């Protein structure tokens, strides 16, 4: 692990924030690092308000979208809500469907099959709409590059409204309306919305046009918060407001389907981290193992008893996904060892029987062992398909472009991509990809990095300090949980390995000049117990630990040396 201290902000700014907010300089520094420059910005950060959401009609084409939907409802047209099969797509489809259902619209949902249709709008989906007399399709979390598909739909007499957040190509589809804050000709003030976030702006505009209040839309924010967490968008600006209120809904009065999922995880209060690691994978498992429709059925169900049944089915999919993920990861690691590829600059593995729905997860798992650009291939029809995942600072999209003569098609971005190749090109592609990575990857990109917000002593960790850190939540990209470094700590002698396989590390830590002792847990740090005999340095975050009704501050160790 590389330990990197974040740059020190301007000392004058730290002093001003410290005085105006009555907080110590460490907390002021953390706020300054997050782009907060004055009291008013800090107030908006700590007290998110729905009043600070942007007007939905600032999104280009929003007026056209609202007019077309109102016309469809007035004329009793059939409307199809078309969502992608991942968490963002299924929550977005569920959100717009339940809202329009409230207005007695004639509405149904459609989620493409991950394996038969693939990502985005499909010809099969358009044919379904035509065969079942749908004249308006609202596409969510997809469609921004579906130029040919939209033309095909028009030839069938079907109008499309596209709600997407992915980067557009040089041309925009000729739909009735294309809502996407990343459009170059769109002046919307915040361009980091997820697909479900764009769907929320659509219902916000519909509600506003009807003279309704923003308060009426709060019950829909449980879906938006889940999508924000799962899609790894920055938790800043509007996303922070939506996630903040969405978590309140999740923890107080969630919709029936989400309540059924919470029932399974058995936690009193969920954070955004819980949403990402406990709720989102269950929703995602439906599309990975069975069909994304299963997730929409759960998220739109109003009867709690039925929701419990659907949640149980999804729980089974998630258990199957975990088993597959574990099995394939084990097989892939063995393949790397058998081929003596431990010292390679890249990982490229293949087995024709690996499940297509989990190869992306497996690629991420392999990076935990071999920190390097990784591709996991499986067979798909008469071709090979792969999920690619990268490491910090390495652009895997550029690397794939350099191998394009061996690739049938690929797409994605800097850190994640998907590709298809012919079986006979696999070995040549693998060799070329290794050559490209070995020549272009930097030394820093070969070692995982921990970014440290501040160096502190244990004496700095007071109840007030921790309380203010907690108020910086919800955490996520561009607002990560603060990470601290403390030097020369010691274990009180009772440190031990814990967990079924003893892979975790449990310590009781103190500093020589301080009597305060903190319990700490280091996940997957069990092999570092030999380094705890004398004094050592630690990097960690803070969390609240509850045991036998008693609450205390616990350190979550990220590394020690």
pLDDT score recorded for residue 259: 96
pLDDT score recorded for residue 507: 96
Nearest-angstrom CA–CA distance, 302 and 304: 6
Contact 313, 289 (CB under 8 A): no
Residue 281 pLDDT > 90? yes
- What one-character-per-residue DSSP string does 153-222 give? HHHTT-EEEEE--SPP-SS----SEEE-TT-TT---S-----HHHHHHHHHHHHHHHTT--GGGGGGGHH
Nearest-angstrom CA–CA distance, 41 and 389: 36
pLDDT score recorded for residue 266: 80
Q: Residue 412 domain-assigned?
A: yes
Residue 451 pLDDT > 90? yes
Q: Residue 159 domain-assigned?
A: yes
pLDDT score recorded for residue 268: 82
- What one-character-per-residue DSSP string does 325-363 give? HHHHHHHHHHHHHHTT-TT-SSEEEE-TTS-GGGHHHHH
Q: Residue 147 domain-assigned?
A: yes
For residue 137, the tally of other CB atoms under 10 A from its CB is 26
Range of the domain at 503: 450-560
pLDDT score recorded for residue 111: 96
pLDDT score recorded for residue 305: 96
pLDDT score recorded for residue 509: 96
Question: Are 208 and 135 found together in one domain?
Answer: yes
Nearest-angstrom CA–CA distance, 441 and 443: 7
pLDDT score recorded for residue 125: 97
Question: Are 426 and 474 found together in one domain?
Answer: no
Question: Are 253 and 307 found together in one domain?
Answer: yes
- Per-residue pLDDT tens digits for 344-402: 999 999 999 999 989 999 999 999 999 999 999 999 889 999 999 999 999 998 999 99
pLDDT score recorded for residue 452: 98
Residue 534, phi then psi, degrees to nearest 5: -110, -165
Q: Residue 255 domain-assigned?
A: yes
pLDDT score recorded for residue 118: 78
Question: Are 375 and 481 found together in one domain?
Answer: no
From 446, 465, 488, the end of a domain falls on: 446
Q: Environment class of residue 104 by beta-carbon count within 10 Å: exposed (0-12), middle (13-18) or buried (19+)?
A: exposed
Contact 372, 399 (CB under 8 A): no
- Residue bearing tokens 């892939």: 332
CATH of the domain at 515: 2.40.50.460
Out of 152-166, 479-493, 544-558, least confident range: 544-558
Question: Are 395 and 434 found together in one domain?
Answer: yes
Residue 115: which of 359, 432, 363, 431 has the closest Cα? Answer: 359
pLDDT score recorded for residue 189: 97
- Per-residue pLDDT tens digits for 141-187: 999 989 999 999 999 999 999 999 988 888 999 999 999 999 999 99
Residue 490 pLDDT > 80? yes
Q: Left (φ > 0), alpha (ψ -120 to 50) or beta: where does 125 sit?
A: alpha
Number of compact structural domains in the chain? 3
pLDDT score recorded for residue 417: 86
Q: Residue 4 domain-assigned?
A: no
Nearest-angstrom CA–CA distance, 561 and 558: 11
Q: Stretch 19-30: mean pLDDT, rounded? A: 96
Could you tell me what percentage of the chain is helix, strand and coil, using 3-state DSSP and rounding each to the nearest 5?
A: 45, 20, 35
Confidence of residue 557 (pLDDT cuts 50, 70, 90): very high
Residue 440 pLDDT > 80? yes
Nearest-angstrom CA–CA distance, 236 and 36: 11
Question: Are 134 and 192 found together in one domain?
Answer: yes
Out of 239-248, 283-292, 431-440, least confident range: 283-292
| Residue ranges with strand state E in 358-429 | 374-380, 383-389, 409-412, 416-421
Kindly list the distances between the CA atom of residue 25 and the CA atoms of 8, 453, 454, 465, 467, in Å, as whole numbers in the listed order: 12, 12, 10, 11, 15
pLDDT score recorded for residue 547: 80
Residue 42 pLDDT > 80? yes
Q: Environment class of residue 184 by beta-carbon count within 10 Å: exposed (0-12), middle (13-18) or buried (19+)?
A: exposed
- Per-residue pLDDT tens digits for 105-149: 899 999 999 888 877 899 999 999 999 999 999 999 999 989 999
Residue 153: which of 124, 178, 113 has the closest Cα? Answer: 124
Reduced to 3 states, what is the DSSP secondary structure of residue 482? coil
- Per-residue pLDDT tens digits for 301-332: 999 999 999 999 999 999 999 999 999 999 99
């Amino acid at each position: 692990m590389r330990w990197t201290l974040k740059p020190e902000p301007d000392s004058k700014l730290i002093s001003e924030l410290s005085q105006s907010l009555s907080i110590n300089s460490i907390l002021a520094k953390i706020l300054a690092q997050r782009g907060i420059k004055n009291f008013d910005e800090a107030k908006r950060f700590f007290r998110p308000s729905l009043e600070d959401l942007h007007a939905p009609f600032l999104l280009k084409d929003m007026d056209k979208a609202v007019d077309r939907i109102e016309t469809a409802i007035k004329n009793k047209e059939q409307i199809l809500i078309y969502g992608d099969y991942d968490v963002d797509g299924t929550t977005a489809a569920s959100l717009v469907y339940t809202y329009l259902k409230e207005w007695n619209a004639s509405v149904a949902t459609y989620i493409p099959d991950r394996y038969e249709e693939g990502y985005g709008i499909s010809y099969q989906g358009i044919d379904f709409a035509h065969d079942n007399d749908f004249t308006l399709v609202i596409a969510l979390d997809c469609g921004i590059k579906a130029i040919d598909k939209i033309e095909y739909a028009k030839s069938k007499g079907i109008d499309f409204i596209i709600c997407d957040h992915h980067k557009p190509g040089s041309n925009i589809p000729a739909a009735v309306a294309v809502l996407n804050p990343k459009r170059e000709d769109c002046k919307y003030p915040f361009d980091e919305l997820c697909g479900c976030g764009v769907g929320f702006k659509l219902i916000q505009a519909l509600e506003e046009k009807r003279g309704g209040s923003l308060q009426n839309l709060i019950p829909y924010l449980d879906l938006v918060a889940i999508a924000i967490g799962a899609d790894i968008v920055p938790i800043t600006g509007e996303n922070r407001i939506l996630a903040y209120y969405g978590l309140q809904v999740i923890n107080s009065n969630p919709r029936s389907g989400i309540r059924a999922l919470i029932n399974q995880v058995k936690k009193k209060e969920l954070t955004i981290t819980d949403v990402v690691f406990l709720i989102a994978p269950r929703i995602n498992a439906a599309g990975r193992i069975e069909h994304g429709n299963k997730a929409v059925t759960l998220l739109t169900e109003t009867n709690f008893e039925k929701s419990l049944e659907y949640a149980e089915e999804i729980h089974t999919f998630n258990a199957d996904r975990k088993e597959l993920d574990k099995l394939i990861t084990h097989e892939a690691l063995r393949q790397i060892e058998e081929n003596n590829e431990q010292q390679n600059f890249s990982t490229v593995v293949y087995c024709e029987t690996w499940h297509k729905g989990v190869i992306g997860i497996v690629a991420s798992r392999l990076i935990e062992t071999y920190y390097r650009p990784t591709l996991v291939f499986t067979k798909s029809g008469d071709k090979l398909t792969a999920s690619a995942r990268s490491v910090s600072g390495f652009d895997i999209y550029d690397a794939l472009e350099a191998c394009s003569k061996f690739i049938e098609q690929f797409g994605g971005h800097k850190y994640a991509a998907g590709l298809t190749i012919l079986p006979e090109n696999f070995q040549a592609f693998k060799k070329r990809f290794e050559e490209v990575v070995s020549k272009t990857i930097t030394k820093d990109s070969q070692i995982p990095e921990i970014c440290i917000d501040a160096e502190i002593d244990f004496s700095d960790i007071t109840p007030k300090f921790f309380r203010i850190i907690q108020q910086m939540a919800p955490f996520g990209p561009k607002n990560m949980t603060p990470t601290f470094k403390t030097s020369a700590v010691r274990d009180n002698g009772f440190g031990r390995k814990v967990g079924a396989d003893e892979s975790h590390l449990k310590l009781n830590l103190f500093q020589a000049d301080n009597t305060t002792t903190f319990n700490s847990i280091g996940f997957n740090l069990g092999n570092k117990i030999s380094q705890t005999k004398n004094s050592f340095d630690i990097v960690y975050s803070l969390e609240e630990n509850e045991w036998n009704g008693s609450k205390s501050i616990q350190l979550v160790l990220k590394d020690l040396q």
